[in-house]
Amino acid sequence: MSVWLPGAPCTPRACVRTTVSLTAVPRAVLRLTAVAVLVLVGVVLAPVGGRFPSGVVRCWSRTVVRAAGIRVRVTGARAPTGTGLLLVANHVSWLDIPLLAGVRPARMLAKAEIRRWPVAGGLVARGGVLFIDRDRLRALPATVATIADALRAGQAVAVFPEGSTWCGRAQGHFRRAVFQAALDARVPVQPVRIRYRDRAGAASTVTAFVGDDPLLASLWRVVSARGLVAEVEVLPALAPGSHPDRRALAAAAGAQVRGEARERERRALAPCGRPDGPPGPAGHRPGGRRGVVREAGEGAGDGTGAPTAAGRIPGKRGAVGAT
């Protein structure tokens, strides 16, 4: 377990609202089966010793999302092409990954443990995923250098800089280490905002994959819901050289993803981490002590651009995250 990467205060019990229209059980079973079949097909057809072409990744990802019963609405600017690109987005669910890949195929940054997962580990590795060992702080500079090399080679790399999944009623701060790779490679940063809504157009937390939520339970909750819509908003890209350092770049990207409208919508919902009552302070752990969340390396450094220490709040760290 990482001693420096914070988690989120979100939990399924406090944050996930299941009061939505449900589809018939046979249809939900059909959706779940379709998703499983698509994953197995991906494993069988995965090229040995190589990676899937970007067009195949885009088509497969869109089909997985559609099979789960999710309608997708893409808005905003067109992501830059023909150059390396760092895509950064807020992290709510495992659905975020195929959603992003369906809009702009990119190499994902994932925790190293996923490589050892049965079936899925081999599939994501052949999909060009870059792995980060989040328990080895000394490995962070090498990971940032690997990302920078991929960006210099003209590849797109997608990360979730919050480092953890949040329910959507609150968001974490963007961790700044991966933004150093964009600075080193002198490539644009493309912020992307992901939101989920129910059939009435209201913000939904049904898709949230947080806390100790089992993956199968999250899958069933998603395929059982009726009329879910995923909104992917491609925000204006941050040009190379537009910000002096990774701290400023991470803050600018995070501010774009949160957005004023997003903040107003968040405040209209019940506070994250507790079903009712006044909002808790930042870093508050429901039913426990107030946690201390510090940006890794804040107030100290080793000259390598890597963080050196931080506090942590227990919580689910997303399947794909970044420092």
* Per-residue pLDDT reduced to its tens digit, 238-251: 999 999 999 999 99
311 falls within a domain: no
**In the chain, pLDDT over 70 holds for what percent of residues?**
70
Domain of 40? 12-268
310 falls within a domain: no
Q: Residue 117 sits in a domain of what CATH number?
A: 3.40.1130
For the question of whether the overall pTM of this predicted structure is more than 0.85, the answer is: no
The domain tally of the chain equals 1
Q: Which of 5-19, 269-283, 302-316 has the lowest mean pLDDT?
A: 302-316
285 falls within a domain: no
179 falls within a domain: yes
299 falls within a domain: no
CA 171 to chain centre: 11
134 falls within a domain: yes
107-111 and 85-89 as β-strands: parallel, antiparallel, unpaired?
unpaired
In angstroms, the CA 36 to CA 51 distance is: 21
218 falls within a domain: yes
312 falls within a domain: no
* Per-residue pLDDT reduced to its tens digit, 291-308: 333 333 333 333 333 333
Burial annotation 271-297 (CB, 10 A radius, 16+ → b, else e): bbbbeeeeebeebbbbeeeebebebbb
